[in-house]
Amino acid sequence: MTVSKQQFLDNPLGQKTTLEDVLDAFEFLDDWEERYAFIIDLGKQLPEFPDDERTEENYVHGCQSQVWVIHHYDEGSGKLFLLIDSDAIIVRGLAAIILVALNGKSPRDLLATDIDELFEQLDLFRHISPTRGNGLRAMVGKIRDIAAAETAA
């Protein structure tokens, strides 16, 4: 089984589910339980990840959980599409937020997006700060490397 272009295009995160949706929803969540319940739910929107793409090449090092990232660059629209997988539920939710912000953008727009600022806005900065060993930063780093490679190509 190899991943099809359609699987990337069907990823709702960053497309049907927009950053605005997430920011709006977050405004109404006031305690940690509601916020994390929302994050967990958002993680459920991650499309199924193809088994044969769980390879060393796609693996994100530096995470406590296992994380994989794959991409598809759509020549026609000039947009970069991403899929992420993780075995930790919270990390899946946080990955979904990252995709909401970065998926389906042009590599140039992706590189111009300030993820730190977004996480700060959502009061989730501790998850992405350099002191945190859970590898979200490594995940974002990998995505930015992919985008940088596409702009250079």
Partner 1 sequence: MSDLSVANNTATKAFDVEAIRRDFPILAQEINGKPLVYLDNGASAQKPLAVLDAMDRYYREMHSNVHRGAHTLGDRATAAFEGAREVVRDFLNAPSTKEIIWTRGTTEAINLVANGLAPRLKAGDEILVSHMEHHANIVPWQMLAERTGAKVVPVQVTPEGELDLDSFNSLLTERTRILAVTHVSNVLGTVNPIAPLIEQAKKLGVITLIDGAQAVPHFKPDVQALGCDFYVFSSHKLFGPTGIGVLYGRAQLLEEMPPYQGGGEMIERVSFERTTWNVLPYKFEAGTPAIAEAVGLAAAINYLDGLDRKAMEAAENTLLVRANELIETVPGMEVIGTARHKVPVMSFKIAGLHPSDIGTLLDQQGIAIRTGHHCAMPLMNFYGVPGTARASFAFYNTLEEVEKLFTGLQKIQRLFT
Interface positions with partner 1 (CB under 8 A): 32-33, 36-37, 40, 64-66, 87-91, 127, 134
Q: Taking CA 92 as the corner, what is the angle to CA 109 and CA 36, rounded to the nearest 5 degrees?
A: 105
Between 138 and 146, whose beta carbon lies closer to partner 1? 138
109 is catalytic: no
How far is it, in rounded angstroms, from Cα 116 to Cα 52? 31
Of residues 13, 46, 63, 70, which has the active-site annotation? 63
Closest to 106 in 3D by CA, of 80, 131, 135? 80
- Cβ atoms of 24 and 18 within 8 Å: the answer is no
Residue 36 CB, nearest approach to partner 1 (Å) = 6
Residue 123 CB, nearest approach to partner 1 (Å) = 10
Residue 40 CB, nearest approach to partner 1 (Å) = 7
Between 33 and 75, whose beta carbon lies closer to partner 1? 33
Between 45 and 65, whose beta carbon lies closer to partner 1? 65
Between 35 and 72, whose beta carbon lies closer to partner 1? 35
Residue 90 CB, nearest approach to partner 1 (Å) = 5
Work out the angle between the directed axes of helices 32-43 and 19-27 (0-180°, nearest 10).
Answer: 160
What is the enclosing helix (H) or strand (E) of 20? helix 19-27
Counting beta carbons within 10 angstroms of the beta carbon of residue 93, is it exposed (0 to 12), middle (13 to 18) or buried (19 or more)? buried
Q: Please identify every residue annotated as catalytic.
A: 63
